[in-house]
A and B are shown apart, each in its own frame.
Chain A
């Protein structure tokens, strides 16, 4: 690896961290927004460069991963950053979404956050992105816990900043804090048990040592605690209860960022631990009993999430419950261990981040102009705000998986993988989910297009900088639906690395 790329891994985390620490000092007024924009943009550039580099190297000599020992202390004694294809892909996604939402949210922040708090808002924002990016690139188990708590604590604070618009933001943040801390503590217990068993904290080293040792109660307990903690962080049914309240009461920029990134990072943690740490030789990472239980949870997530989404009184809650269902798709593809299902899972992570991020930004536009996302107030939106309504419909079609949208590509791979690996029931659930997604998309279409225009006052204009990220994100979902070759390639190689037991 040449010297230019040698410090890039640590820069991914360092740039937002420095930004987050500088924000309370220099972040007054518009400078906070500019600082956030510059740092997230730089982080995106760095992760994107690394992604291209790793993908190119991986095509030559699979499996390829960059290892960066912090402080020069070599693994397994030191903490190392380990970036493989999945890490690089998700790091680019998270920093890219951070940049997009930052671009979008200048007026939103002015609107929803009191003036004396804004520099702290930007500080928490950048520190949350730092934590999320760090989880993606670290190769040390305890480092995962520390960065997880960094991102979680800042996110609790960010959600609570929505109290100006809706005081339930405080109870939502408190609820998420309690549940999230218990989940993170479970992960801590799991890491402690793994350390007791193997004597090391480096994830690759734990994997090597676990392969040599017999599977006993310690390992099984550690895995159980880990799955429970991770399931809570990624809002898998029935541990999703914190999510709808948190997403609908947070400031609109925060909701968009969380919907696009926080749960994906939770899913990444699950993938990383199950397939790169706990995987037994022979590639079987989860037993059939495990797959059954997780499959039931995913099926319940898909059905319950989609049905609940159709009953919600506001667009934000509808989108939140729809996310519960989408996470069901991603996790069900992850558990069966088949290369196509895993590819579909990774693709859906990326596409869902793009589409849901775009949809929550649309909800943010609605809050900015209408002050509410209650469906009864959105009557006739098709006439009053045609561009935004159209964007929401495009997003909904992506959720359903209409051919031509990115959602179709990921669902296709999921179905193919599930059927080929002998789980037709789960495949059927994915199909049912698409039909149910049509139900809640239709609910919005019915309100927006088939009802006479309501009279909630429209204030402010539609600033181009708010609509541009929406255009880019939802446009990307259409583009990737029509030209998916490159992203399928990357996702497939990432899945290959993961299932091949690569560290």
Chain B
């Protein structure tokens, strides 16, 4: 828990803005630099800042360990799930155009967005887990 009032105040104010920026970067992967990896790291950085300033216990209450573990797997499962939809509908694995048969171009965009969301979720969880382990917290 940081003892400096300045750090805690400014950090607490910045925290939601970092999260929103991460979300912005996530959504803008197709039309600017961004996408899943970068957004995941940004979101993780926000939570790491929070734990540095306010202490591990408060951050754990905000974002429990089991949730982080679960979202590691959920992100990858989302990615694979989008791919399996293609298999189920008789086409190839990771064929996004089957998500919306009437507008294949829109379906491709939808598929890419979902896949990037899965990637962002997994990357954020993994980096949070790494930092937690380095800090000596149990699995």
Contact = CB atoms under 8 A, between A and B. Distances in A.
A and B touch in the complex (CB under 8 A): yes
Interface of A: 3, 7, 10, 14, 17-18, 21-22, 24-25, 68-72, 116-117, 120
A25 B70 contact: yes
Given A17-B80, A117-B139, A120-B139, A72 B91 contact: yes
Q: How large is the interface on B (under 10, 10 to 19, 20 to 34, 35 or more residues)?
A: 20 to 34
B131 to A, nearest CB: 17
Contact of A25 (B73, B83, B87): B73
29 contacts: A3-B90, A7-B87, A10-B87, A10-B93, A14-B80, A14-B83, A17-B76, A18-B77, A18-B80, A21-B77, A21-B80, A22-B77, A24-B69, A24-B72, A24-B73, A25-B69, A25-B70, A68-B93, A69-B92, A70-B92, A70-B94, A71-B86, A71-B92, A71-B93, A71-B94, A72-B91, A116-B138, A116-B139, A120-B139
Q: List the 10 shortest-distance A-B pairs measured between CB atoms, nearest first.
A: A71-B94, A72-B95, A10-B93, A72-B92, A21-B76, A21-B73, A25-B73, A71-B95, A70-B94, A7-B87
A3 B89 CA distance: 12
Interface string B2-22: 000000000000000000000
Indicate the member of A21, A68, A117 with the most B CB atoms within 10 Å: A21
Contacts of B70: 25
Nearest to B80: A18
Judged by DSSP, the binding face of A is helix
A214 to B, nearest CB: 37
B97 interface: yes
A22 B74 CA distance: 9
Contacts of B96: 71
A18 B80 CA distance: 8
Contacts of B95: 71-72
Interface string B115-138: 000000000000000000000001
Majority SS at the chain B contact face: helix
A19 to B, nearest CB: 11
Contacts, number: 47
Contacts of A22: 73, 77
Nearest to B90: A3
A25 B86 CA distance: 25
A20 to B, nearest CB: 9
Interface string B56-85: 000000000000011011001100100110
A71 B91 CA distance: 8
Contacts of A69: 92
Contacts of B91: 72
A70 B93 contact: yes
Nearest to A18: B80
Nearest to B88: A7
Tell which of B84, B91, B92, B138 has the most Cβ of chain A within 10 Å. Answer: B92
A119 to B, nearest CB: 9
Given A14-B80, A116-B138, 18 more contacts: A3-B90, A10-B92, A14-B83, A22-B77, A24-B69, A24-B73, A25-B69, A25-B70, A69-B92, A71-B86, A71-B92, A71-B94, A71-B96, A72-B86, A72-B91, A72-B92, A116-B139, A117-B139
A72 B96 CA distance: 9
B48 to A, nearest CB: 21
B125 to A, nearest CB: 11
Contacts of B97: 72
B97 to A, nearest CB: 7
Q: Most chain-A Cβ atoms within 10 A of its Cβ — which of B77, B87, B94?
A: B94
A153 to B, nearest CB: 12
Nearest to A69: B92
Residue among B80, B93, B139 facing the most chain A CB atoms (10 A cut-off): B93
Nearest to B75: A21
Contacts of B94: 70-71
